[in-house]
Amino acid sequence: MASRAVPLNPTARGAGRSRDRARLLAAGVRALVLLGFVLGPWIFPSFRAMDVLAKIMIFAVVVASYDLIIGYTGIVSFAHGMFFGLGAYCLALVIHHGGEPRGFHLAVALVLAVGLSSVLASAVAFFSLRVKAIFFAMVTLALAEFAHILGGQWTSLTLGEDGVSFRLPGVLGVGWNGGGVLGVGVDGRLITYYAVLGVSVAVFVGLLRFVESPVGRVIESIRENERRATALGYRTFHYQLLATVVGSAGASIAGVLFAGWVRYVNPESVLGIPVMLNILLMVIIGGLGTLYGGIVGAAFIVAAETWLPELQKAASTLLPGVEIAQRLAERWVLYFGILFMLVVFLFPKGIMGAVRQILARREPARTGGQ
Amino acid sequence: MNALDVAVGQPPGRPVSGRHLAVGAGAAALVLVPLIWIDPTTYLVLTVAGLAMGMLLFLTAVGLTLIFGLMDVLNLAHGAFFAWGGYVGFSVLQRLDALGWVETGSLGQSVGSTLLALAAAAGVGAVLGVVVERVVVRRVYGDHLKQILITVGLSLVMAEVIKIVWGPNDEMVLVPQALQGSYDLFDVVVNRFRVLAVVVGVAVFGGLHLLLRRTRLGLVVRAGVENREIVEVMGYDIGRIFTAVFAGGAALAAVGGAMWAVFREQIHPGMGDENLILALIVVIIGGMGSVTGSFVGAVVVGLAFNYVSFLVPKLALGVNILIMVIVLLLRPQGLMGQE
């Protein structure tokens, strides 16, 4: 990766020490974040805080898997929201049409989500990516809109606009109660929270391993210079296809988690254009090509969506009667849009990229002083 | 001049007539296929409806395809110009109705108000187009990823500004009296507005054809689509041409939006996104960068949508995707696209 500063002489003691320090710092931050999510229900013992944390984890997975496609592979897909929705609907419909909720329904939904999204992503890639990378953006945009309409119209399967609400089996069910630990009730909600946490971490680590693997390196090299990668003998389409399929499958797993956490899906909440726009906002604000940016971006947007409406209410009571002020306060998506454009212009690598750049700039300065 | 002539002229010895005749005959046969299931009167009504829808789509798609062909920019904010045009047309009609021109006035007044609404939409679209190209799009030439991201952000912002100016709810659009009702030709009921849509669409197509084929500007634009560098080497300021094409495309999309508003008698802030997706399908079918291609693509999409929604209503929305997939499989560069 070009952004990572590599000292000319790796045996220089100062450079090595500061690199070790940076690595240690990064590991510490990672451990702290993970610990925060693990202890979250105890640190902030309210349902709302737990809801925010769970959604951050889920969207961090969505955004990281999207980052694999847009950031590492350099392909713009507008169907990522669709794959997310596909996963969500897999869980909801398997349980809805499967009678009494059972444990194996979860496994069936997960397998179905990964299988369907892989097949669909391969088909889309075959039709459009083979031709021209930019076609992929256009075809996925059309397809995602079609999926959204289908979710609303195919009422016999998806129950249409009304959506599907369902229960989870066993210890994940809302009814289950296992007493309390240190003042926090151990119920279906809490168990679901940890299930979401476990799967999210597993998928996230899997994505990290994937981009660090030799295959991931080839994928990045194709983004940097496709002709050169072809000249080196790599079948670039195969690698791009693989990245698209892995990313889309990751999104569908996150969709299963989202449906499991919310226990309700409808076309608007998981398939609509706003979902896709949110994912785009998160990945851009967090930082393209960083994976960890997914956590930052997801945290930023989920938190903003949770607390902005309250801020807006406060703003409108400050200026009562001024209609244009009311309207301006109501339209917080506008500010997201402006922020989004500014980030694309000024910090193309997002928050994570900017942080890494600052750290990389400090490093040689420190070695120079010794 | 020689280099330019070679760049824009038809390659010598290209077999035009035979192949094109075969394609044309095949297309005509395809258009007649629905007659197997639909009685002729209904078929004609549906055909006119499909042509009208196609012409409205063409107005958006042509800007998209020219901007892509000339500037290599996928402008996902193009739908926002469409929505702005719809809202501007709506406002103009509302103002003029206060003068008694639109729903109650004489024939001249209601035709005049229609023209004023379309002209205002075109003007606002062109001005917005100039501003957007100069301030935003110009910065991202040559970088597809940034273009896509920036124009998505732009469409978000432009839709939000609509909500601030006009409010977030659906608005009812007044229909000028001259356009209400329909003509009855031998039992074929033709909505007046659809006739206007077809006339405007064909006029724009013909006008663009003349502009591109018969004028100096058109020559330079076509040359730019083929090879930008050579046009610059010839001493033309490609930047100004980019601005002009972008503004022109935006103005046409805005006119399309204003006509759509009158056609549907209703507008909402999300109308741009819906239209953009259909226009993208049209451009993929027709071929990126080809004006004739997007005309053909728009007609195909409009007709297919109307026939299928009559025969199998549930399939109507999928048929466009299906056509797009078939075209991508058989002729990935689009019906009229090159390479």
pLDDT, tens digit, 9 for 90 and up, residues A136-159? 888 888 888 888 888 877 777 777
pLDDT above 70: residue A286 = yes
SS3 state of residue A11? coil
- Share above pLDDT 90 across residues of chain B, in percent, rounded to a whole number: 24
Average of pLDDT values for B251-273?
90
Contacts 24+ apart (CB under 8 A), A132-136: A132/B332, A133/A74, A133/A75, A133/A76, A133/A240, A133/B144, A134/A76, A134/B74, A134/B144, A135/B284, A135/B328, A135/B332, A136/A75, A136/A76, A136/A77
pLDDT band at B177 (very low <50, low <70, confident <90, very high): confident
Q: Which residues of A touch B150 (CB under 8 A)?
A: 341, 344-345
Interface contact flag, A333 B160, Cβ < 8 Å: yes
Closest CB to A337: pick one of B74, B157, B328: B157
What residue ranges define each of the domains in chain A, with the CATH number in brackets?
A: 35-304 (1.10.3470)
The tens digit of pLDDT for each residue in A204-263 reads 999 999 999 999 999 888 888 888 888 888 888 889 999 999 999 999 999 999 998 988
Q: Which of B44-58, B174-188, B271-285 has the lowest mean pLDDT?
A: B174-188
pLDDT of residue B7: 35
Closest CB to A334: pick one of B157, B320, B321: B157
pLDDT of residue B232: 86
Q: How many CB pairs under 8 A join A and B?
A: 95
Q: Which of A65-74, A169-178, B128-137 has the lowest mean pLDDT?
A: A169-178
More confident residue, A272 or A17: A272
pLDDT band at A321 (very low <50, low <70, confident <90, very high): low
pLDDT of residue B9: 38
pLDDT of residue A86: 93
pLDDT above 90: residue B119 = yes
More confident residue, B143 or A206: A206
Alpha-carbon Rg of chain B, whole angstroms? 20
In the numeric block, the tokens 């046969």 are attached to B29
pLDDT above 60: residue A128 = yes
The tens digit of pLDDT for each residue in B252-261 reads 999 999 999 9
The residue of chain B with its CA nearest to that of A285 is B149
Could you tell me if B164 lies within 8 Å of chain A, comparing CB atoms?
yes
Closest CB to A344: pick one of B146, B157, B318: B146
pLDDT above 50: residue B2 = no
CB atoms within 10 A of CB A151: 27
Average of pLDDT values for B202-207?
92
Could you tell me if B29 lies within 8 Å of chain A, comparing CB atoms?
no
- Share above pLDDT 70 across residues of chain B, in percent, rounded to a whole number: 93
pLDDT of residue A2: 43
- Share above pLDDT 90 across residues of chain A, in percent, rounded to a whole number: 21
What is the ipTM score, two decimals?
Answer: 0.80
pLDDT of residue B183: 73
pLDDT of residue A15: 56
Q: Which residues of B touch A138 (CB under 8 A)?
A: 74, 280, 283-284
Closest CB to B160: pick one of A149, A150, A331: A331
The tens digit of pLDDT for each residue in B38-88 reads 788 888 888 888 999 999 999 999 989 888 887 888 889 999 999 999 999
Interface contact flag, A139 B324, Cβ < 8 Å: yes
pLDDT of residue A66: 93
The residue of chain A with its CA nearest to that of B288 is A135
Average of pLDDT values for A179-187?
68
pLDDT of residue A142: 84
In the numeric block, the tokens 């896509």 are attached to B148
- The average confidence (pLDDT) of chain B is 83
Q: Which of A122-136, B44-58, B178-192, B325-339 has the lowest mean pLDDT?
A: B178-192
pLDDT band at B4 (very low <50, low <70, confident <90, very high): very low
| Rounded Cα distance, A277 and A274, in Å | 5
pLDDT above 80: residue B157 = yes
CB-based contacts of B174, cutoff 8 Å, min separation 6: B90, B93, B94, B97, B102, B103
pLDDT of residue A87: 93
- The average confidence (pLDDT) of chain A is 82
pLDDT of residue A347: 83
**Pick from B211, B191, B78: which is nearest to B132 by CA?**
B78
SS3 content of chain A, % helix, strand, coil (to 5): 80, 5, 20
pLDDT of residue B173: 85
Q: Which residues of A touch B149 (CB under 8 A)?
A: 76, 280, 284, 340, 344
**Pick from A203, A221, A238, A204: which is nearest to A72 by CA?**
A221
- Helix then strand count (H, E) for chain B reads 13, 4
What residue ranges define each of the domains in chain B, with the CATH number in brackets?
A: 38-330 (1.10.3470)
Q: Which residues of A touch B274 (CB under 8 A)?
A: 145
